[in-house]
Amino acid sequence: MTFKKVILITLDSLGVGALPDAALFGDSGANTLDHIAERVSNLSLPNLEKMGIGNIPGIEHIKKCSSPIGFYGKCLEKSAGKDTTTGHWELAGIVTQEAFPTFPQGFPPTLIEKFKKKAKLKDILGNYPASGTVIIEELGQKHLKTGYPIVYTSADSVFQIAAHEKIYPIEKLYDLCEIAREVCDDWNIGRVIARPFVGELGSFQRTYLRKDFSLIPPQKTVLDLVKDKGLPVVAVGKTSYIFAEQGVTSAIHTKNNHHSMEVTINEFKKMKEGFIFTNLVDFDMVYGHRRDVVGYAQALVEFDSDLGVLQKVMDKESLLMLSADHGCDPTYKGTDHTREYVPILVYSPALKKGKSLGIRNSFSDVAQTIAEIFSLSKTLPGQSFLRDLRNETL
């Protein structure tokens, strides 16, 4: 059996248990998926359950399936870190040996002064780690009075700029972030993120026009290699941002998880051969960081329904992979990502039956499997599991 179309969907932050080194990150005992299922009684995810999500080692509160239709397992992160960039890059074949820098005390004066000079700013507001929704309430009114952008960071390697759309129209904010990206390159900061918001004090709201400005990957990923072969690489959601647009033939930015799934399904229907890489950011941004257990569970239920729609339009020459980039356990302390295994679930109508893929030694097993499917010349880190799949095809 030859697969011509591959869909990789990242359920952003859906970890499945603390990694062996989680204690080094302060994340011992984290388990995003299982803790959500434990807290939300009668959580029903029938399509994910049929794929074997409840059979993944360490998942105790989701129904197990005696005859799964998918292959299932979990992957260990080899990269140093627990952020969006390192997780996605490893899924695509890059293992990051040295963690991107973080700034728990705020950015150094030299960085801020260089940014202000290049951007021709009199001043900025903030410059400390914060929740994005909290900091706009704290500084939003002052921002409206002064016109100074709000700069902040998090536990990740990010330089975030929040600005009201009536002070900084979207393109002006994006231009400011482009300048920040140039400055942040000198500090090897993973991402600059535009965080536009609207409304009045007490009711400020961030908009879906967020945009990430990432470091350029240091080497070719599986996206580049598929593109170099002349095949389409469609990036849905914030995927293209994470890879600094590298290896992408078509980028489609979306409003939310459901919209991302609609786009994924439509793009799949049009595609004859190629690769679709979709990120579902709401799990992380809207629910994980805000420690909204019920909201996260409801988002999983909605995704499960969309998954069923996608599976119905798939054919025997198509393969679907579901994974994640890190954890963000909404039952855990703080509001940061958690250092966890990520799930790997694989489905195709061509599969006779599913079985365990075990515990994989790297997220990049996904990349090497995709490389083998498309007969790419370069070997990527990781161990392909394509042979396991082909042994069970019709």
Secondary structure (DSSP) of 342-385: EEEEEE-TTBS---EEEEES-TTHHHHHHHHHTT-SSPPSS---
Per the structure block, which two tokens stand in for 91?
């899924």
pLDDT reported for residue 104: 94
- Here the CATH number for the domain that contains residue 87 is 3.40.720.10
Q: Are residues 41 and 180 in the same domain?
A: no
Nearest partner of 55 among 354, 372, 259, 390, judged by Cα: 354
What is the arithmetic mean of pLDDT over 255-265? 97
Summary mean pLDDT of the chain: 96
72 and 130 fall within a common domain: no
* The last residue of a domain, from among 182, 214, 246: 214
Reported as type and span, the H/E element at residue 339 is none
Q: How far apart are CA 331 and CA 38, in angstroms?
A: 10
122 and 66 part of one domain: no
Flag whether 232 is in a domain. Answer: yes
- Co-location of 239 and 342 in the same domain: yes
Same domain flag for 14 and 121:
no
The predicted structure's pLDDT at residue 2: 87
Question: What DSSP line would sit under 262-315, residue for residue?
Answer: HHHHHHHHH-SSEEEEEEETHIIIIIITTT-HHHHHHHHHHHHHHHHHHHHH--
Between 133-137, 161-165, 170-174, 306-310, the lowest mean confidence (pLDDT) is in 133-137
pLDDT in tens, 291-326: 999 999 999 999 999 999 999 999 999 999 999 999
CATH of the domain at 157: 3.30.70.1250
Q: Are residues 200 and 161 in the same domain?
A: yes
Asked if residue 104 is part of any domain, the answer here is no
Based on the domain organization, do 228 and 350 belong to the same domain?
yes
Q: Are residues 222 and 345 in the same domain?
A: yes
Q: Given a cut of 90, is residue 78 above it in pLDDT? A: yes
φ, ψ at 18 (rounded to 5°): -60, 135
Whether residues 147 and 233 share a domain: the answer is no
pLDDT category of residue 1 using cuts at 50, 70 and 90: low
Task: Please tell me the predicted confidence (pLDDT) of residue 334.
Answer: 86
Measure the CA angle with vertex 182, ends 190 and 284; round to 5°: 30
In-domain check, residue 372: yes
pLDDT digits (tens, 9 = 90+) for 324-375: 999 999 999 988 999 999 999 999 999 988 999 999 999 999 999 999 999 9
Looking at the domain assignment, is residue 166 inside a domain? yes
Q: Are residues 242 and 257 in the same domain?
A: yes
Kindly state whether residue 103 falls inside one of the protein's structural domains.
no
Does a structural domain hold residue 311? yes
Task: Supply φ then ψ for residue 302, to 5 degrees.
Answer: -65, -45
Are 262 and 376 within one domain? yes
Is residue 62 within 8 Å of residue 55, measured between CB atoms? no
Number of compact structural domains in the chain: 2
- The pLDDT of residue 394: 58
Average pLDDT over residues 12-38: 97
Task: Note whether 382 and 272 are same-domain residues.
Answer: yes
- Which range of residues forms the domain containing residue 287? 5-97+217-390
Task: Answer whether 0.85 is exceeded by the pTM.
Answer: yes
